[in-house]
Structures are given as structure tokens and as C-alpha cells.
Structure 1
Amino acid sequence: MKNSSFLLGLLVGSVSSVLAYQVTQKKVNASPEKALQRVKSAFQQHYTVTGSWIHLKPETLVREKIETSIYNAGLTVKDQDTMRSFSLQLDASTGAVISIHLEK
């Protein structure tokens, strides 16, 4: 009886350890909507934002053999009398801006 109790405890402990490891290693992405809203707020300090979009499914960006999960997004703004479009890459984990490009 002692051996079976010991083995049961060992099994439960092992399974718990594996599950705990998997939960802590799981990456949690920033909400794409919140990431876009933060960027829009920053742009609104300088421009009138007239439109925005974001891909809800993250994509993988590879630079110098380093993989990063990103959201692709875009903004259309009014700068005095000129409309401008920007394409953005946002870090999917933090929502931070990785790149901004003015579309021509």
C-alpha cells in the first residue's frame, strides 16, 4: 500500500509540474484592438485620424534569423489638407510599434 501511495503521489506531482510548465511558457499576445488604439492615440496628438485597420491574427516576422510575432496595421490621417496613409508593424506580445512606413 505504501508503494502505491508513493507512486500515485509521484505521478500526480509529475503531471502537475508538466502542466504548470506549459501554462507558464504559453505566450500571451496583446489585444490587437488595444494596440491599435494606443497607436491611434499617439497619432491623434499630431494628426486627425480618419481611418484605421489591423489584422487580428498575428504573423511571424523574421529579421536577422530572429522571429517576432507581429500585427500588421494601418492608419489614414489628415495632415492639413493632405491625406496620408501609414502601414505599421506592432509587436504582438507588447503592442509596441516595430515599424512605421508612410505609403506613397
Structure 2
Amino acid sequence: MNWKTFFLGAAVGMISGYMTKEILCQNTNVTPEKVLGAVKKQFKQNGPISGSWIHMTSEPYEKNLITYNVYKGGISQNHQGLNEQFEFIADAKTGALLEVTPFSNEPSL
């Protein structure tokens, strides 16, 4: 066996493996569980969390003329004896929070 051929084949294999990994990482989303964990970690800084949920499938969302692929979810938090609820929208590609809004179950008049 020729050593030059062996090293050339090994180098091509390593480079193609690295390039494949980079391409796959660019096209994959953060798991919804990781996004929910990160959101819970942020909210825990302001008090205990009593409940949380997240949609397991991503969906398109437009904000400031930019279309994102997002996960939507919610958090319930006890704050000074009151149960506060929030809905959030997080980027599915990076996991970054795009929007957090307080949620009210009170009927509007």
C-alpha cells in the first residue's frame, strides 16, 4: 500500500466528515425541550415556576418583516402569592426568545 494514497484518503475522509457535520448543524433546530429549559431558567431568576408548556412542532412567525421558524409556549409563575402566566415565542434555530407577553384569563367586557 502506498502511504501517500492512504494519507490522502484519510484527509479527504476527515474533511468531508467535518463539512457534512457543519451542513447538518446549520439546518437543524434546537430541540423544544432545550428551548423550554432555557426559558424556565430565565424565569426562575424572578421566582418559582408552577407550570410550563411548549408546542413540540415549530411554525412560521413574522416579526419586523423577518420570517422566523418558532416554538410557542407558556410559563406559570408564582409572584408574591399571585399566579402569573406568560406566553413566549422562541426562535427554533437558535432558541432565542423573540417575544414574551403576559397572559390573562379574565374575560373582557
Using the TM superposition, give the Cα deviation of residue 24 of structure 1 relative to its aligned residue in structure 2, in angstroms: 2.5
TM-score by length of 1: 0.73
Using the TM superposition, give the Cα deviation of residue 91 of structure 1 relative to its aligned residue in structure 2, in angstroms: 0.4
SS at match of 1:29: coil
* CA root-mean-square deviation: 1.9
- Which consecutive aligned stretches of 4+ in structure 1 deviate over 4 angstroms post-superposition? none
Task: Count residues with an aligned counterpart.
Answer: 84
TM-score by length of 2: 0.70
Using the TM superposition, give the Cα deviation of residue 86 of structure 1 relative to its aligned residue in structure 2, in angstroms: 0.2
Unaligned runs of 5+ in 1: 1-19
Letter in 2 for 1:93: K
Aligned to 1:37: 37
Residue by residue, what CA displacement relative to the aligned partner does 1:22-81 show, whole Å, maximum 9, x if unpaired?
A: x82762100110111011011111111000000010000023442100000100000011
Aligned to 1:72: 72
- In the TM superposition, 1:1-104 aligns within 5 A as 24=23, 27-104=27-104
CA distance in 1, matches of 2:73, 2:54: 4
CA distance in 1, matches of 2:87, 2:40: 12
CA distance in 1, matches of 2:64, 2:102: 23
Using the TM superposition, give the Cα deviation of residue 90 of structure 1 relative to its aligned residue in structure 2, in angstroms: 0.4
CA distance in 1, matches of 2:63, 2:51: 29
Q: Indicate how the Cα distance of structure 1 residues 39 and 64 shifts in structure 2: closer, same or farther if over 3 A, else same.
A: closer
CA distance in 1, matches of 2:41, 2:48: 10
Aligned to 2:107: none
Percent identity, aligned pairs only, is 30
